[in-house]
Amino acid sequence: MDNTAENKEFLSVKNLKVEYFSGKTVVHAVNGVDLKMYKGKTLGLVGETGAGKTTIAKSILRILPDVGARIVEGEIKLDGKDLLSLKEHDMRKIRGNEISMIFQDPMTALNPVQRVGEQISEAVKLHSDLSKEQCEERAKEMLKMVGITEDRYYEYPHQFSGGMKQRIVIAIALACNPQVLLADEPTTALDVTIQAQVLELVGELQKKFNTAMLLITHDLGVVATVCDEVAIIYAGRIVEYGTKEQIFHHPSHPYTLGLFGAIPDMADDDIWLHPIEGLPPDPTKEIVGCAFAPRCKYATEACLKGEIPALTTEDGHISHCINMKSVLSKEGK
Amino acid sequence: MSESMVRVEGLKKYFSTARGLLHAVDDVTMDIEKGHTVGIVGESGCGKSTLGRTIIHLLDKTDGKIFLEGEDVSDVKGKDLKRVREQMQIIFQDPYSSIDPKKSIRDTVKEPLKVSGRYSKSEIEEKTDMLMDLVGIDERLKYAYPHELDGGRRQRVGIARALALDPKFVVCDEPVSALDVSIQAQVLNLLKKLQMDRDLTYMFVTHDMSVVKHISDEICVMYLGQVVEKCPSKELFKMPLHPYTKALLSAIPSIDIDHPNKREILRGELTSPINPKPGCRFAARCKFATEKCLEPQEQQEVSPGHFVRCCRVEELG
Ligand SMILES: Nc1ncnc2c1ncn2[C@@H]1O[C@H](COP(=O)(O)OP(=O)(O)OP(=O)(O)O)[C@@H](O)[C@H]1O
Ligand SMILES: Nc1ncnc2c1ncn2[C@@H]1O[C@H](COP(=O)(O)OP(=O)(O)O)[C@@H](O)[C@H]1O
Ligand code: SF4
Ligand code: SF4
Ligand SMILES: [Mg+2]
Ligand SMILES: [Mg+2]
């Protein structure tokens, strides 16, 4: 295959800004985010609840609520096509065909009053010219692939556990062999064995169809297992971005360091964990300086002023922290 | 002497479905000691939430016995049921859908206090303030609505509400799954502190194996409605005995990118929980399965406090 084409991003997000508003309050959900996704590769997007992860994915698909949300600024390109300027009619063709999404909340994707088997079967039908029977067969196979026996084809969503609903949503999203897969916390509700199965299944499909994937998760173990690149997001801003090796071997933003420090250590028996103290900032307030400053133990006067520029190392590891050098020397890295 | 907070014997919960009876919880016997935390892990859909909800009488059991501090509460009704429900509470996974978006969080926390009929108006206000302080909700947010809170704070509201009536036993059903690790650590520390201060007993459902190891005194591993292994937390990680437990531990994604785990991907036919055959539920996927695995499996105590449901456990070692 042509190498230069492979190295060019397939989907890119540039300076994306998204707001939600109700009455007079404005939630600054996404504040100037850049992302690049490549064919056959997985980009991990890691950050806490409310950091803006789902909003980014919904912006790419253009499925933000019609009222009360707006993309203020930015550019989203799929294989050179500018998605934000496409007509809704053309965008509809892209959804579920070229770009498919696994929703974090399975009930946004499932119809509560339709049998789950039929829902998968319909998704298969939409993206193939198989007969009704063949679609049904395929749907049963998909169910089995996500670890659910085919005798449950005729049940309704409420009859399944949280994790099982999640798996049905995964089956539906994979039924259409998308070129871009936006997976919003796809395995958060799954146990580790099913998670391993699902990740393997997604990996196989990704190889087969050279899918570009955005994997939203807060499970750093999952990131370590499947991602090629990682973006760490805090309060609607990317704070660190690099290859998996860069992020795991040389985490350099204080928030990233805090995340690694907060994971319960399988090897010791401390009663107390080490959270990052404090809470994320109020998204309705304008933030001057570094959004992480109130929780950051390295914060200095300068962190509270103006824009925090991105520092990029020679090999492309990006960190939005003006004190990166002293942070790294104190952390002994 | 250790005392039992909750004991269940032969507990069953079946659901009827289009294709037959679904054995969501099938013959579970276990003891939960006072002041302890029992972690529940297992495949998604194996019956963890159903077990927790049946124990606390949110769901009607199909069969079996439930004891609370030695008292048989299996079939309590009326006033007794109300009392038992107050003593056994639940914290749900999803802080978004488990609290009413139209109520201020103060009203959410207050509600169980009002419903209980135990307190006067002023006592209710006082207790509500106390609860919100207890879980660390700042003064300025006391009259906020759920959508104004982030996931970590919403989960604190869920915790405050669950603790309102001073329960003895709390089922924590994936309480930190929706939170990132930095906030997760705050909430886990809070739960631990509350447990120490109020002598609470927890049943803690989670898929995160590092969390379950951290929080639990004992761990119960479930597979298709049954407990297949139960033992002290540390022992489970050092000496897992049931073949499913071994597969489960092997699948924990490691954060050490240079030494990824050798995951054992489970293959083989899936077993349906609908009208399951009498033998070992794991047999179709177990690489050690033999003839005798197709007979009903009993839970055996292989060493003090270590229970396993597998007839080949001695040979496999
Ligand atoms: N109301 C219901 N009607 C029919 N079947 C049900 C119902 N609730 C649960 N089940 C079934 O019971 C089994 C156990 O479900 P449960 O919710 O207890 O699983 P779980 O272990 O908590 O899973 P998860 O980890 O995904 O939350 C599943 O097969 C599920 O489909
Ligand atoms: N429909 C909505 N209306 C108003 N605010 C919203 C809506 N959806 C999300 N938000 C807010 O936008 C911010 C980002 O949310 P989200 O993208 O869901 O974060 P994440 O997926 O990282 O948890 C949060 O402050 C959240 O409360
Ligand atoms: S810029 Fe300052 S406040 Fe922000 S992460 Fe770096 S040191 Fe901390
Ligand atoms: S009883 Fe048999 S099939 Fe079941 S876990 Fe043990 S060895 Fe495997
Ligand atoms: Mg989200
Ligand atoms: Mg559950």
Is ligand 2 within 6 A of the CB of residue A68? yes
Q: Is the ipTM of this complex over 0.95?
A: no
- pLDDT band for position A3 (50/70/90)? very low
Neighbours of A88 (CB within 10 A): 7
Does the pLDDT at position A258 exceed 90?
A: yes
B117 located within any domain: yes
Task: Count how many pairs of residues, chain A against chain B, have C-beta atoms within 8 Å.
Answer: 170
Strand A318-319 with B88-91, pairing: unpaired
- pLDDT band for position A326 (50/70/90)? confident
Query: Residue B95 has what pLDDT?
Result: 63
- pLDDT band for position A259 (50/70/90)? very high
Helices marked H in A30-151: 53-61, 88-94, 106-109, 116-126, 132-145
Q: Of the candidates B116, B118, B129, which has an alpha carbon nearest to the alpha carbon of residue B160?
A: B129
DSSP label at B141?
A: G
Query: Residue A279 has what pLDDT?
Result: 83
Locus of tokens 């065909």 = A97
**Average pLDDT per run of 10 along chain B, which is 317 residues long?**
90 94 96 97 95 97 98 96 95 77 92 93 95 86 83 88 95 89 90 94 95 96 97 96 95 89 82 92 94 94 96 89
Does the pLDDT at position A43 exceed 80?
A: yes
CA distance A126 to A139: 12
Q: Who has greater pLDDT, A64 or A328?
A: A64
CA distance B52 to B59: 9
Which structural domains are found in chain A, ordered by start? Answer: 5-98+178-330 (3.40.50.300), 111-176 (no CATH)
B253 located within any domain: no
pLDDT per residue over A204-239, tens digit each? 889 988 999 999 998 999 999 999 999 999 999 999
Residues 268-327 of A with CB under 8 A from B: 269, 271-277, 279-280
CA distance A238 to A235: 8
* B257 vs A contacts (CB less than 8 Å): 224, 244-245, 248-249
Q: Who has greater pLDDT, A9 or B152?
A: A9
- Looking at residues A62-83, what average pLDDT do you find? 94
Helices marked H in chain A: 3-7, 53-61, 88-94, 106-109, 116-126, 132-145, 162-174, 192-209, 220-226, 244-249, 254-262, 324-330
Number of domains in chain B: 1
Dihedral Cα B206, B207, B211, B217, nearest 10 deg: 60
- Looking at residues A288-297, what average pLDDT do you find? 95
- Cα of A216 vs centre of ligand 5, distance in Å, is 8
- Cα of B45 vs centre of ligand 1, distance in Å, is 5
Does the pLDDT at position A5 exceed 60?
A: no
Atom of ligand 1 nearest to the CA of B174: 27
Q: Who has greater pLDDT, A197 or A38?
A: A38
pLDDT per residue over A79-137, tens digit each? 999 999 999 999 998 987 899 999 888 888 899 999 999 999 999 998 888 999 999 99
B112 located within any domain: yes
B122 located within any domain: yes
Query: Residue B96 has what pLDDT?
Result: 67
B311 located within any domain: no
Dihedral Cα B93, A166, A9, A69, nearest 10 deg: -60
Is ligand 1 within 6 A of the CB of residue A160? yes
Print the domain residue range for B96: 4-239
User: How close are the terminal C-alpha atoms of chain A, in Å?
Assistant: 39
Is ligand 2 within 6 A of the CB of residue A65? yes
pLDDT per residue over A131-189, tens digit each? 999 999 999 999 998 999 999 999 999 999 989 999 999 999 888 788 999 999 999 88
The residue of chain A nearest to residue B246, with distances taken between CA atoms, is A193
Mutate to test the pocket of ligand 1, among B26, B50, B90, B223 (most ligand atoms within 8 A of CB): B50
Q: Do B253 and A166 touch (CB under 8 A)?
A: no
Dihedral Cα B272, B273, B278, B283, nearest 10 deg: 50
Whether the CB-CB separation of B293 and B302 falls below 8 Å is answered with no
Neighbours of B251 (CB within 10 A): 22
B76 located within any domain: yes
CATH number, residue B168: 3.40.50.300
Query: Residue B140 has what pLDDT?
Result: 79
Largest CA distance in chain A: 67
Q: What percent of chain A has pLDDT over 90?
A: 69
B227 located within any domain: yes
Q: Of the candidates B140, B280, B307, B285, which has an alpha carbon nearest to the alpha carbon of residue B221?
A: B307
Collect all residues with Cβ–Cβ distance below 8 Å to B77 and sequence separation of at least 6. none
Name which of A154, A162, A192 is nearest B252 (Cβ-Cβ).
A192
Interchain CB contact of A228 with B (< 8 Å): no
Whether the CB-CB separation of A174 and A142 falls below 8 Å is answered with yes
DSSP label at A101?
A: E
Is ligand 2 within 6 A of the CB of residue A27? yes
Collect all residues with Cβ–Cβ distance below 8 Å to A289 and sequence separation of at least 6. A303, A304, A305, A306, A308
Q: List Cα–Cα distances, A304 to A288, A296, A299, A308, A309, in angstroms.
A: 6, 11, 8, 9, 13
B261 located within any domain: no
| Average pLDDT score over chain A | 91
Q: Cα-flanking dihedrals φ and ψ of residue B288, to 5°?
A: -105, 5
